[in-house]
Amino acid sequence: MPDVQETRMPVTTLSEDEQLFREMVRGFAEEKIKPHVMEMDRAGQLPREMIDQLFAIGVMGIELPTLYGGAGANFLMAILAIEELARVDPSVAVCVDVQNTLVNNALLRWLTPEQKERLLPRLARDVVGAYALSEPGSGSDAFSMTTQARLEGDTFVLNGRKLWITNGAEAGLYLLFANADPAKGYKGITGFIVERDFPGFAVGKKEDKLGIRASSTCELILDDVRVPRANIVGEVGQGYKVAIETLDEGRIGIGAQMLGLAQGAFEAALAYAKERRQFGRVITDFQAIQFQLAELATEIEAGRLMVYNTARMKEAGQSFVRQAAMTKYFCSQIGERVASQALEIFGGVGFTKDFPAEKFYRDAKIGKIYEGTSNIQLQTIARTFLGR
């Protein structure tokens, strides 16, 4: 396998700390994750020992302040971690992605100081978080949810089902959305912190998926789950705002995941093409292969610039709704295209599980689906310049 730097243009926009952090995550991924990728894929499971190692190196609480046991780093570092992990295994990357760009980000913005002191140290130390918005009948139309929260005294009683919840099997804490006042429509939606051991809460079916198989995707069942008012995220009725603003950041994370996947698939194809011989020559001697690789490398670099630029816009406090949607849309296309082309460069062996190409190909498809389908991203982009 060639050194990563051989297949990447230099990124001069990263600080020294950011570059060192990226190198650390890359080394961890190569040493600790890569030997277990196919085993985890076959088992459809992310072992707890692997999760503990992610906490140990600090990538599960990248932006959490050091006051709460986090790394106290910036948003781009979270994006760099997702990219580097996805280069080796997109399943591990999405676990870190959800923890940082969805759960931690939302709680940092919306929790009270008292709530932060109670909950954030756990997310930095050893508790996996999950983001529970989707339901059987509300995917792209997320705010048509039927899960309800009924107020009884100082407690909300939640009933309903959530579906397609990433980290569902491993999580101990769920940022979960329910409607506390259905008569108000989406303005009744409220965010709650639901803990795994709350009576009436259960993790249901774990999906048997095409790709990112080591990442759990589960149903959640709520049967008269009593959630104290102290576990409301923001205020009653603000849930739609919490969800929308958090998903904008999450889309940058998915862009980084698909970018890392594309980089990993490209590097695998390049290494194979340098060794594979046909007609008495290595296949990189053929212009057709050279041009394929050149096109893929160009698309990956364009995606990287989009991901990093959008992350910087978020850090600078600028509006990045359009750029986040563009980044997610474009990088999911790149991930699928590069994975497909990489598999073709491998030829027949690429279609087998003896080489990494087929897994990258399977993992890539989800990029166009979760955290907003490609059509939803295009709709969001269009609305930003049509004023609708």
**Catalytic site positions:** 371
Distance of CA 289 to the CA centre of its chain: 32
Per this entry, what is the length of the chain? 388
43 within 8 A of 214, measured Cβ to Cβ: yes
Q: How many CA atoms lie within 13 A of 110 on its CB side?
A: 28
- The sign one gets for the Cα dihedral 90, 371, 216, 59 is positive
**What is the residue type of 179?**
N
What letters, b where the CB count within 10 A reaches 16 and e where it falls short, cover 209-226? bebbbbbbbbbbbbeebe
Nearest residue to 112 via CA among 229, 247, 194, 244: 229
Nearest residue to 83 via CA among 147, 131, 21: 21
Coil, helix or strand at residue 46: coil
From CA 160, how far away is CA 176, in angstroms rounded? 11
Dump the DSSP string for 266-305.
Answer: HHHHHHHHHH-EETTEEGGGSHHHHHHHHHHHHHHHHHHH
**Bridge partners of residue 48, in order along the sequence:** none
The one-character DSSP state at 225 is E
368 within 8 A of 374, measured Cβ to Cβ: yes
CB atoms within 10 A of CB 190: 25
Residue 196 backbone phi and psi in degrees, to 5: -60, -30
Distance of CA 195 to the CA centre of its chain: 21
215 within 8 A of 67, measured Cβ to Cβ: no
Alpha-carbon distances of 318 from 25, 73, 255, rounded to whole Å: 28, 19, 18
